[in-house]
Amino acid sequence: MIGVIFRNEQRAAVEEFFELFKTPWEPWHPGASYQTLLVGSGVEVPEGNARLVVIFGAEPRPADVALGALPGVRQRGAELKQDTLAEVLPLYGDVMSFKPQAPATGPMWGAAGVHGVLDVAHGRHTLRIGYDLFEEVRILLGPGQPLQQADSPALDLHIEYLRGWMRSAGVSFLEIPPSPHGYRYAVALTHDIDFVGIRRHKFDHTMFGFLYRATVGGLLDFVRRRQSLALTARNLVAAFKLPLVWLGLARDFWMQFDAYREIERGLAPTYFFIPFRGRAGDKVNAAHAERRAGPYELSEVATLIQELKAEGCEVGVHGIDSWHDAAKGREELARVAALKGDSDIGIRMHWLLQDEHTPRVLEEAGYSYDSTSGYNDAIGYRAGTHQVFRPLGRGRLMEMPMHIQDGALFYRTKLALSDAEAWRRCEGIIANAERSGGVLTVLWHDRSLGPERHWGDFYRRLIAELRARRAWFANAHAVVDWFRARRAVSFVRHGDAGYECSVGELRGLLPLTVREHRAGQPSRDVSWDGATRFQFQATN
């Protein structure tokens, strides 16, 4: 059992951290016995017999001198490394370095020096860390990471660090990993439905933008060797066919739903539809805000929505004003619910608009989950994690972060990557998902398989790669439901070193994994369907 001492204002961050690192813990109680004790900043370090004590904080502490860790440089933010991991851990709160009085054992270090000092005495491991873990959790699950750090799964790394410290100290413990038994991670394929064909775009910015990119822009890309001759020719042909598309004499080359259904057959993607035509939305603090208005009516895609549902796909809301107005959020939800057939609906905001109040507003509007946490201009980890999480201070609303987006990868004003570079970046995210578990959320827009984008070959390759790995494909709602079941696991303590976990009925969901960590032994995974209580006795 982990005992945690923290300031009261950190409670939400502490509780959410241990929903992500799903392992037995409790707020520290005087006189109770713990294998691991975590001490946050601004609180006293108690006496005890824990095998591992981790003392966090960027302020000097009375115990520092005894640990041989004299205060060094204090700064805001840093990038740290540790011997056991190659990845750099970015920090966003206050960070303090130390001046070890003796060569440090197993330190963390950064540009300012050593940031973690380990003292081992009489079988007790005391680790002094120069930052506040729970402040980092608050930042990551709140404002999130800046664009420059998008590549870092920082929150997943914090979990990996703590798990590693516990194993190195010889602590026996169990955890519930964030992926169903037999799978390394989940994959949620999603589509933001912004256009529904090009036929309805006549002499507007969308049409003129397409014509430029398909002709002049494409020829320039060909000259710069950024586009093949074959794609350049296909774009020119599409541009000349546009009048025939308007007249109904040629196929609408932006209507790619059949192609998506073929690529994703059996993989249960999620489609987010704009609820109202012609509404650009309020409070849009971006250039050309009027272009945010959706060009189609839901009634025009009613048959399509029913077909998608029949094939096991999910339908959600591509929100307009839900991010800032609960009343309008309820209106948008009701609009899609009328066609979907139920109101248990998720959302992703159009243009990924959000602010610090958005989780509260979406919860008040009645949404089941949100999938807006991500970047328009990069791929990676706004919240630093692959896991579905609950925004701090919320009740039922869950957040399924988005990681890979087509436009961010390839669009000329975004990353503008070549296929080779984009593949390398995606491989890094896949590797992180395989290591940490969770869900890898992919966004491919409705028109991205057709001219002038032609991002279909890359998407097919990505799907084929994910199929070949131990990934569970499911729609967003199913992934969120599985994570809700994992969160429902409770741990009951028995004696000083034993506990049992229970979850109740999994309601047909994929089984959980219980991972047992014992000192000096490889970890052991056990499939658990929740029908019985799982008992564990530590052997420290």
* Residues 190 and 235 reside in one and the same domain: no
In the chain, the number of structural domains is 4
SS (H, E, C) 301-350: HHHHHHHHHHCCCEEEEEECCCCCCHHHHHHHHHHHHHHHCCCCCEEEEH
Kindly report the number of other CB atoms within 10 A of residue 226's CB atom. Answer: 13
* Residues 343 and 359 reside in one and the same domain: yes
* Residues 374 and 520 reside in one and the same domain: no
Q: Strands 52-56 and 36-39, how do they pair?
A: parallel
Task: Output the tens digit of pLDDT for each of the chain's 540 residues.
Answer: 899 999 999 999 999 999 999 999 999 999 888 999 999 999 988 887 899 999 999 999 988 888 888 888 999 999 999 877 788 999 999 999 998 766 555 578 888 888 998 888 888 999 999 999 999 999 999 999 999 999 999 999 999 999 999 999 999 999 999 999 999 999 999 999 999 999 999 999 999 999 999 999 999 999 998 899 999 999 999 999 999 999 999 999 999 999 999 999 999 999 999 999 999 999 999 999 999 999 999 999 999 999 999 999 999 999 999 999 999 999 999 999 999 989 999 999 999 999 999 999 999 999 999 999 999 999 999 999 999 999 999 999 999 999 999 999 999 899 999 999 999 999 999 999 999 999 999 999 999 999 999 999 999 999 999 999 989 999 999 999 999 999 999 988 776 667 778 887 777 899 999 999 998 899 999 999 888 777 777 765
Residue pair 336/271 in contact (Cβ under 8 Å)? The answer is no
Domain that holds residue 271: 186-197+255-475
CA angle 537, 26, 124 (to 5 degrees): 65
If residue 134 lies in a helix (H) or strand (E), which one and from where to where?
helix 133-140
Q: Which is nearest to 165 in space by CA: 36, 5, 25? A: 36
Report CA dihedral (476, 482, 485, 490) to the nearest 10 degrees: -120
Please check whether residue 480 lies inside any domain of the structure: no
Residue pair 343/304 in contact (Cβ under 8 Å)? The answer is no
Question: 303-306: which pairs have CB atoms within 8 A and are 24 or more residues apart?
Answer: 304/257, 305/271, 305/273, 305/339, 305/340, 306/339
* Residues 450 and 515 reside in one and the same domain: no
Please check whether residue 481 lies inside any domain of the structure: no
* Residues 243 and 210 reside in one and the same domain: yes
Please check whether residue 466 lies inside any domain of the structure: yes
* Residues 227 and 303 reside in one and the same domain: no
* Residues 220 and 259 reside in one and the same domain: no
Q: Strands 346-349 and 52-56, how do they pair?
A: unpaired
pTM of the model: 0.95
Please check whether residue 519 lies inside any domain of the structure: yes
* Boundary residue ending a domain (453, 475, 497): 475
Alpha-carbon span 6 to 38, nearest angstrom: 8
* Residues 223 and 242 reside in one and the same domain: yes
* Residues 271 and 385 reside in one and the same domain: yes
Residue 291 gets which letter from DSSP?
G
* Residues 161 and 226 reside in one and the same domain: no
**Phi, psi (degrees; rounded to nearest 5) at 6:** -150, 160
CA angle 438, 440, 445 (to 5 degrees): 150
* Residues 261 and 249 reside in one and the same domain: no
If residue 242 lies in a helix (H) or strand (E), which one and from where to where?
helix 229-246
* Boundary residue ending a domain (475, 499, 516): 475
